[in-house]
Amino acid sequence: MTMEPQEYHEALAQLAWQVELGADEAIGAVGVDRYAEKLIPKKVEKTVEKQSSKVVDEPVDISAEAARLAAGSGDLEALRAALEGFDGCALKRGARNTVFSDGNPAARVMIIGEAPGRDEDIQGKPFIGKSGQLLDKMLAAIGLRRNAEAAEEAVYITNVLPWRPPQNRDPLDDEKAMMKPFLMRHIELVKPQVLLLVGNPSSQTLLETDQGVTRLRGKWHKVAGIPALSIFHPAYLLRVPAKKREAWADLLMLKTKLDEG
């Protein structure tokens, strides 16, 4: 479309006037007639409003989708892929990595923590920061190592949440509930002889209770028919060293259970 000289100069004058007013960016190639927008028939406006409200009234059942993806995972690699493809949890958008697991899947002991921290988020593995280092020392004291090839000496580690909560806050109830189907499927696939529940969030999620570790520790529970022992989180022991005596007693309970076979 060609422009007459007069039209060109008028357009140029209008542009110069807009620049003087402070305009410094062209938002669209074609101008929008705001007056014309007001002339949209009310019937059309009602149709648009009706369609918009219809979208709002049909939320996606995120929990059902999580359960479907988890149930359809036939092995650990499939479960990892399902987790990495699941976008229902907002934590994923702020995380660097999906922290799936570490250790030997053939291990007799499966350790379940709460959620990744900063170090875990960066490296993509659970329990590798200061609390993870203390956990390794605690396990070594009863002859267990995460990198051991022999199942009798190995452990397998995961978390309730695979993504780091902002500022390392505690997992929220709806986040734990949303991700629980993946965790339960994880336990089914690993088939451990014993579960070690580290800290309040993992203990409360799997034992379905509001009680904390202080009341839950020192005795055996059952999760999906598997013996489960609740222990203090290593991060808590770093803050309250006096509790290490009780933590050692719990580790001895675990060792006795493993020795009994």
Q: Extract the residue ranges of the chain whose pLDDT is less than 50.
A: 37-45, 47-48, 50, 52-57
Asked whether the CA dihedral 5, 6, 10, 16 is positive or negative, the reply is: positive
Residues in contact with 138: Cβ distance below 8 Å, sequence separation at least 6, in sequence order: 234, 247, 251
Q: What is the largest CA-CA distance in the chain?
A: 97
Hey, what domains does the chain have and what are their CATH numbers?
A: 62-260 (3.40.470.10)
pLDDT of residue 56: 47
> Residue 52's pLDDT is what?
47
- For residue 164, the tally of other CB atoms under 10 A from its CB is 24
φ/ψ (deg, to 5) at 120: -65, -40
Mode of pairing for the β-strands spanning 155-159 and 102-103: antiparallel
pLDDT at residue number 257: 97
Contacts for 223 with CB less than 8 Å, ≥ 6 apart:
187, 195, 197, 206, 207
pLDDT of amino acid 44: 41
Q: What is the dihedral of CA 237, 240, 245, 249, to 10 degrees?
A: -40
Written as one string, the DSSP assignment of 66-127 is HHHHHHT--SHHHHHHHHHH----THHHH-SS----EE-TT-SEEEEES---HHHHHHT-SS
**pLDDT tens sequence across 158-216:** 999 999 999 999 999 999 999 999 999 999 999 999 999 999 999 999 999 999 999 99
**Alpha-carbon dihedral sign for residues 168, 173, 175, 179:** positive
What global pTM score does this model have?
0.77
Judging by DSSP bridges, how do beta strands 155-159 and 194-198 pair with one another?
Answer: unpaired
Residue whose structure tokens are 């250790």 = 103
